[in-house]
Structure 1
Amino acid sequence: MSENFWKIRAEKYDNLKWVHDQDYLGLIIKHAKPKLKDKVLDIGIGTGKVAKALLPFVNHITGLDISNDMISSLPHEIDFVEGNIYNMKKLFKNQKFNIITARMVFHHCHNDLIDVLKCCHRLLNKGGRIVIAESIPPSNNLLVKNWWHNVRLLKEKRTTRLYVDYANLLMDSEFGNIKSDIYISSLSKSSTVNWIDSSGLDLMTKYKIMKAHMGAPKIVKRAHKMKIIEHDILCEHR
């Protein structure tokens, strides 16, 4: 994504409900298994919600992001590196980490995600962990997956992957002992209006996304447990 895209998004990014969902953050911490001696690399640190949640449990955190527009609220204890994930080998040439986290980042990587993951593997100490948190379609049904993907393409260029896709990419990058959890964001946390209003979208794009939800096939509405209420549409998300 372009730097201008993130500059626009930065203004309202923290208004997104999922960004500061404490249950979601707690699941990331659970899988990171942080220790007080650990050094962490948070890829796509954004406004630092994941890094701040991990900070009390580790020794040091470095955050990487393509844009510095979101980092005004980062604690001074967190080091920030402005740069592209495709340059991590150069940016962290002489560094090693115990934990790497990446929340809502890797769907921005397309055919080259395998190279990014291989670099992550090289940046980790022996026994290190990588925690990837990504939104996935609510069903493996092809119609549901395609609808989910096409709606998100209205918002941004992205690659849609299922859990098995990430697992295969991790194995191909020499990661082992791969574990997963599915976090379901409840209807109360999943306002479509909040999502589109906090994503820096123009009015026409917002209209298209709302229209797609209103006219979604029944199988899609069932998969999302979609609930249409006054002025909003609520959906369960994974």
Structure 2
Amino acid sequence: MSAQDRINAYWAGRAPSYDEYQQRPDRFAADQQAWSAIWEQALPPAPLDVLDVGTGTGQAATVLAGLGHRVTGIDLADGMLERAREHAAAIANGPVIRHGDAVHPDFPAASFDAVTSRYLMWTLREPEVAVANWVRLLRRGGTVAVVDSTWFPHGLDNAPENMSAHYDTQVQAVLPLATATSIDQTVAVLEKAGLREVTVTPLTSIYELDRRFGVAPNHDLQMQFLITGQR
């Protein structure tokens, strides 16, 4: 089993509990409002053709579609795709959800105005290859916009559920950002891909929601960041 297969297996199995946490009724409306504002800031006005890579349960993809963008979401974990398709079908003009590899998205060059991801960079193999491929998919003036944090700067020993069983030494060896200690390491990947005007925005609204409602199990209260760059 390859490292990517092990990652896929983990997230396919984790999909139900992960999705339930994302859909928590006490926080859902506040999250939707906050993330809508974040993605609206990150991208030019709708409608754009947007590719959401590593879409997971489709949280970002559905928010982006709700802003009026034409969204395609791709992922490799079947359990996540199942949940994403359910959410996409529940809204008007929902995203198209497809099986696809974030590192090597199978689309023609210049197919999109923006490529987005949320909570992907830390678990992305070959991130430099991936971002270079995302840039290839962008039209001139297009945007790469990613959200992430330094989730496990002290290692994965205290990671959620059975993550450490899947994210073993073989997997961690191909994930250079998994235990990043600074968001600057993610910034450097975007800059190396040749993106211009790379900017980092602390997501204080999400930090405040985490402080108010609590964070996911085995996570610490920490700042998340929006990183954007232009082709």
Please report the TM-score for the alignment, with normalisation by the length of structure 1: 0.68
Matches within 5 A, 1:197-236: 209=218, 235-236=221-222
- Separation in 2, partners of 1:29, 1:149: 33
Q: Does 1:169 align with 2:189?
A: yes
Query: Would you say the 8 A contact 2:202–2:223 is kept in 1?
Result: no
How far 1:44 sits from its partner (Å)? 1.6
Letter in 1 for 2:134: C
List alignment gaps of at least 5 residues for structure 1: 138-144, 197-208, 214-223, 225-234
Letter in 2 for 1:117: V
Q: Does 1:16 align with 2:21?
A: yes
Q: Does 1:73 align with 2:92?
A: no
How far 1:116 sits from its partner (Å)? 0.2
List alignment gaps of at least 5 residues for structure 2: 1-5, 168-174, 225-231
How far 1:53 sits from its partner (Å)? 1.4
- Separation in 1, partners of 2:110, 2:141: 15
SS of equivalent to 2:115: strand
Corresponding residue for 2:116? Answer: 101
Corresponding residue for 2:228? Answer: none
SS of equivalent to 2:199: coil
Q: Residue deviations 1:185-235, cap 9 Å, x none? A: 2322323xxx23xxxxxxxxxxxx5xxx9xxxxxxxxxx6xxxxxxxxxx3
Query: Would you say the 8 A contact 1:7–1:69 is kept in 2?
Result: no
Q: Does 1:84 align with 2:109?
A: no
Query: Would you say the 8 A contact 1:39–1:58 is kept in 2?
Result: no
Distance 1:43 1:34, change over 3 A: farther
Q: Residue deviations 1:43-63, cap 9 Å, x none? A: 122222212211143441111
Corresponding residue for 1:218? Answer: none
Query: Would you say the 8 A contact 1:190–1:236 is kept in 2?
Result: no
- Separation in 1, partners of 2:109, 2:186: 27
Corresponding residue for 1:160? Answer: 179
- Separation in 1, partners of 2:38, 2:190: 19
Which of 13, 24, 40 is the aligned partner of 1:29?
A: 40
Please report the TM-score for the alignment, with normalisation by the length of structure 2: 0.70
- Separation in 2, partners of 1:7, 1:125: 32
Distance 1:109 1:236, change over 3 A: closer
Corresponding residue for 2:149? Answer: 135
Q: Residue deviations 1:146-185, cap 9 Å, x none? A: 4366534873536133221122111110101111111242
Distance 1:81 1:17, change over 3 A: closer
SS of equivalent to 1:160: coil
- Separation in 2, partners of 1:80, 1:87: 16
Corresponding residue for 1:140? Answer: none
Query: Would you say the 8 A contact 2:117–2:147 is kept in 1?
Result: yes
How far 1:8 sits from its partner (Å)? 1.4
Letter in 1 for 2:179: T
Query: Would you say the 8 A contact 1:86–1:116 is kept in 2?
Result: yes
C-alpha root-mean-square deviation of aligned residues, in Å?
2.8
Which is higher, the Rg of structure 1 or of structure 2?
A: 1
Query: Would you say the 8 A contact 2:51–2:71 is kept in 1?
Result: yes
How many residue pairs align between the two structures?
Answer: 189
Letter in 2 for 1:160: T
Which of 131, 148, 151 is the aligned partner of 2:158?
A: 151
How far 1:102 sits from its partner (Å)? 0.3
Query: Would you say the 8 A contact 2:50–2:113 is kept in 1?
Result: yes
Distance 1:8 1:26, change over 3 A: same
